[in-house]
Amino acid sequence: MVVSRCFTMKSLKMFSVQRRGMHLLKDKAYINGEWVKATSNAVYPVQNPADDNVITELPDMDAADAKTAVDAAANTFKTWRDTTAKERSYILRKWFNLCEKHSDDLAAIITAEAGKPLAESKGEIAYGNSFLEWFADTARHINGEIIPSPWPNKQILLTRQPLGVVSVITPWNFPYAMITRKVGALMAAGCTCVIKPSEDTPLSALAAAELAEQAGVPKGVINVITSSRKNAPGVGKVLCEDENVGCISFTGSTFVGKILYGQAAKGIKRVALELGGNAPYIVFPSADIEHALDQAMLAKFRNNGQACIGANRFLIHEAVYDKFVEGFKSRIGKKCILGPGTKEGVTCGPLINKEQAKKVSGLVDDAVSKGAEALIGGKFAKELGDKFYESTLLVNVKPDMNIYNEEIFGPVASCLKISSEEEALKIANSTRSGLAAYVFTKDLGQAFRMSRQLEFGMVAINDGILSAAEPAFGGIKESGIGREGSLHGAEEYTDIKYTLMSALDK
Ligand code: ADP
């Protein structure tokens, strides 16, 4: 599909202006160390969600291109797996240093493709880079074990071996950090990869690949293929089913995660899945309410609510409910400044695309039609464009409303009143998602009880932000399989090899 008709004179002008500010902007995919077009020559447009201007066109690759990229990664794996941990650590650190040096350029690209306020894009680059730094260190600590043998004259060795080519499929909400978190880990372990970034936000992935090349990452270790949403299923099938692929590492919706898990099952492939969440944010009477409110702003409105660990259900104890709701409304009114991410002072950008905007407004409209009340927001800011939705606070939310059960993925805080710890736990756990949960309490026993009984992979006590390179990030139930960050994040990309050294007396 050739889409040059998408270029209006205005968008072409914007395109050249934006290009001047973004030295790392690429218009080709990256396979085996070469910047390449799609075999079919097809392209698709990448648009700025704030104004719909086309930033650039990229190759609209298909299954054949995916196969070429997997073959390149498989070929390079033969040599990359034998590099020393020290060499891999050195290269990762060089990549980290270059990404740090170019953080302003990288942030400008994220704001253009994802719409985030520039300050948040800079935050994402710092966060994303922290994984490269962490895995540069971790590469040298992926150790084996020597286990006391039950037999005389025999020795048991367990070593960790890289599991091969990893297919990396990532979403648009943290387009850079979701890549460094996976690629840093898999490279530390000695694997190679093919990355398929989101069709909406492929530009930061390509920029990261350019810096990897400059850092001396050998050709074929990192390959990036780009495709429109139309081609994603065909590309995804190859990335899951090709016999040279050892693992599928995916961050995205539970819906797509289940498709990929099914495809991976055909070849008994390893999976690392980081899927949707439905995080409860529970506030008990003993909590420092001002602190809980400040943290709620971060847990809900960071990235305009488009985060899998974003607070999705505010469960507020009746003793502090009115105070919390009043404080939340006033903070939203003062602190949520909607606008294009490039504008000074803006804290909330557009939603990523029309489908997402429709989903968020649909959830609010459904809730309001069934008796919920929007204390602030509850509608589009039409004067800014069709993807800008006002930061919203909903009360009187009930179980028959779609918003009660679904992941909102937008700037809408929905509040429920609870009257006991048991009720909080019952509501919080009544979901098939199990990614993150937040609890605010000063009662130490209650904090430990909640941590134990919440069916979530991650629990933050008295904090609204919990991710970093050091802890293990991941979910249970339908929120995923595997952990990212920490030493576990690198070990995900290894197999344990058991070697028996026998006949030591012969
Ligand atoms: P989101 O829309 O929130 O980004 P998705 O799960 O829909 O979440 O998409 C995440 C990633 O999965 C994107 O890179 C997208 O292109 C990709 N994707 C979507 N459908 C498929 C599929 N059938 N096979 C492989 N990848 C897919």
The confidence score (pLDDT) of residue 18 equals 53
Q: Give 159-201 pLDDT, tens digit per residue.
A: 999 999 999 999 999 999 999 999 999 999 999 999 999 999 9
Are 258 and 353 within one domain? no
Longest dimension (CA), the chain: 84
Indicate if 415 belongs to the active site: no
Residues 257 and 312 in one domain: no
Q: Is the CB of 199 under 6 A from ligand 1?
A: yes
Mean pLDDT for the stretch of residues 351-377: 96
Q: Does a structural domain hold residue 475?
A: no
Residue 6 in any domain: the answer is: no
Give the CATH number for residue 426. Answer: 3.40.309.10
End-to-end CA distance of the chain: 69
* 54 within some domain: no
- Say how many Å lie between the CA of residue 287 and the centre of ligand 1: 39
Give yes or no for residue 262 CB within 6 A of ligand 1.
no
185 touches 493 (CB < 8 A): yes
pLDDT greater than 60 at residue 251:
yes
Does ligand 1 lie within 6 Å of residue 254's CB atom? no
My answer on whether 268 and 288 are in the same domain is no
pLDDT 10s digits, 440-470 = 999 999 999 999 999 999 999 999 999 999 9
Distance, in Å, from the CA atom of 491 to the CA atom of 487, rounded to the nearest integer, reads 6
Average pLDDT of the residues in 212-241: 98
Residues 443 and 482: their CA atoms lie apart, in Å, by 31
Is residue 308 annotated as a catalytic residue, yes or no? yes
Q: What is the mean pLDDT of residues 359-370?
A: 97
Find where tokens 């710092």 sit: 126
Identify which of 245, 256, 309 to mutate to test ligand 1's pocket (most ligand atoms within 8 A of the CB). 256
The β-bridge partners of 436 are 458
Q: What is the mean pLDDT of residues 287-306?
A: 97
Specify if 208 maps to a domain. yes
Could you tell me which residues are beta bridge partners of residue 36?
29
Does the CA dihedral 72-128-307-439 come out positive or negative? positive
Looking at the structure, tell me whether residues 78 and 198 fall in a common domain.
yes
pLDDT, the chain, mean: 95
Q: Which atom of ligand 1 is closest in space to residue 355's alpha carbon?
A: 2
Domain that holds residue 217: 35-45+59-275+482-494
* Paired residues of 155 in beta bridges: 501
Beta-bridge mates of residue 416: 315
Q: Whose CA is nearest to atom 25 of ligand 1?
A: 236
pLDDT at 374 over 50: yes
**What is the pLDDT averaged over residues 221-235?**
98
In this structure, the number of other CB atoms found within 10 A of the CB of residue 102 comes to 21
Let me know whether 302 and 425 are in one domain.
Answer: yes
Same domain flag for 402 and 346: yes
199 and 329 inside one domain = no
Could you give the dihedral angle defined by the CA atoms of residues 416, 418, 422 and 427, in that order, rounded to the nearest 10 degrees? -10
Q: Provide the pLDDT for residue 279.
A: 97
Evaluate if residue 402 carries a pLDDT over 80: yes
| Residue from 309, 311, 320, 293 nearest 417 by CA | 320
391 in contact with ligand 1, CB cutoff 6 A: no
Please give the torsion angle defined by the CA atoms of residues 67, 245, 257 and 304, in that order, rounded to the nearest 10 degrees.
-80
Burial class (CB in 10 A: 0-12, 13-18, 19+), 241: middle
Extended beta strands in 101-251, E state: 145-147, 155-162, 165-169, 192-196, 222-224, 245-251
Q: State the pLDDT confidence band at 393, using cuts at 50, 70 and 90.
A: very high
Residue 391 has pLDDT above 80, yes or no: yes
171 and 313: one domain? no
Q: What is the mean pLDDT of residues 285-310?
A: 97
Taking the centre of ligand 1 as the mean of its atom positions, its distance from the CA of residue 321, in whole angstroms, is: 38
Q: Say if 186 falls within a structural domain.
A: yes
* Pair (70, 201) in one structural domain: yes
**What helix, strand, coil percent values describe the chain, rounded to 5?**
45, 20, 35
Query: Mutate which of 58, 172, 174, 198 to test ligand 1's pocket (most atoms within 8 Å of Cβ)?
Result: 198
Is residue 435, in this structure, part of any structural domain at all?
yes
Is 352 a member of any domain? yes
Percent of the chain with pLDDT over 90: 95
Type and span of the H or E element at 352? none
Q: Are residues 350 and 464 in the same domain?
A: yes
Distance CA 217, CA 215 (A): 6
Q: Is the pLDDT of residue 417 over 50?
A: yes
Does pLDDT of 26 surpass 90? yes
Share of residues in the chain with pLDDT > 70 (%):
96
Residue 337's pLDDT is what?
97
Confidence of residue 266 (pLDDT cuts 50, 70, 90): very high
SS3 track for 64-120: HHHHHHHHHHHHHHHHHCCCCHHHHHHHHHHHHHHHHHCHHHHHHHHHHHHCCCHHH
Whether residue 195 contacts residue 72, with contact meaning beta carbons closer than 8 Å, is answered with: no
Q: What is the mean pLDDT of residues 402-412?
A: 94
In a domain, 10, yes or no: no
**386 and 490 inside one domain:** no
Residues 289 and 265 in one domain: no
Among residues 153, 162, 214, 202, which one has the least CA distance to residue 186? Answer: 162
Task: State residue 19's pLDDT score.
Answer: 55
Per-residue pLDDT band at 23 (split at 50, 70, 90): confident
- Going by their DSSP bridges, the two strands 245-251 and 165-169 should be labelled as parallel
- For the chain, the domain total comes to 2
